[in-house]
Chain A
Amino acid sequence: ETGVTQTPRHLVMGMTNKKSLKCEQHLGHNAMYWYKQSAKKPLELMFVYSLEERVENNSVPSRFSPECPNSSHLFLHLHTLQPEDSALYLCASSQDGGGGAPLFFGPGTRLTVL
């Protein structure tokens, strides 16, 4: 595998389910991100992990719970979601580079909440 991979690519879940999204980066980067992409809205930064520490949490509801066990893996645990949480969830990584570090994105997980 190369670049940033995400599984599953598609997920349908009920509001009472618990599921997890997985992201893995094969680029040797030290920062990882979760973005939410909804129709007709700009990409929304959800969480940032730098050197495996959460450094940013953009007022995301507690029904989204991130986990970064090491610099290559990032998870997003989901529980009791709402239909408005249906979106494309994108994982990204970057190398230490401050504000100028370009992000490398995975293909995303298309989430549908029924």
Chain B
Amino acid sequence: AQSVTQPDIHITVSEGASLELRCNYSYGATPYLFWYVQSPGQGLQLLLKYFSGDTLVQGIKGFEAEFKRSQSSFNLRKPSVHWSDAAEYFCAVGASNAGGTSYGKLTFGQGTILTVHP
């Protein structure tokens, strides 16, 4: 079974500073990897996804993530944080489905809360 670890429960950065949120996964095959963001009182919004190919993926809102197979990591980065980036961020891994089923099934990390100071 797959699993996801986000080591940092809470991160605080100053506006304009760079950001890196860590994500480590456990999965036997090539994983499908995702980052989602959740603002207070809202559902989760997809930031970016990795399926295969280029290990550096670009997402919305200026975010990017790098897949490193040797480290089983998929860290999220942003060069300059804006106050509106304050939210909770979730890393997720998708499982391959046995029996040819067509649906996706994601396992989520516990989330990292990002606070941005002015």
Q: Which residues of A contact B (CB under 8 A)?
A: 4, 6, 30-31, 33, 40-43, 45, 48, 50-51, 55-56, 90, 92, 94, 96-108, 110
Contacts and interface: CB of A to CB of B under 8 A. Distances in A.
A43 B90 contact: yes
Interface residues of B, number: 28
Given A42-B108, A42-B110, A90-B43, A100 B94 contact: yes
Interface string B82-118: 0000000010001111000111111111110000000
A105 B104 contact: no
Contacts of A6: 43
Interface string B35-50: 0100001111110010
A101 B45 contact: no
Contacts of B107: 42, 45
Contact of B109 (A42, A106, A110): A42
Given A96-B102, A103-B104, A104-B46, 13 more contacts: A41-B110, A42-B109, A45-B106, A90-B44, A92-B44, A94-B104, A98-B101, A100-B32, A100-B49, A100-B94, A105-B44, A108-B43, A110-B41
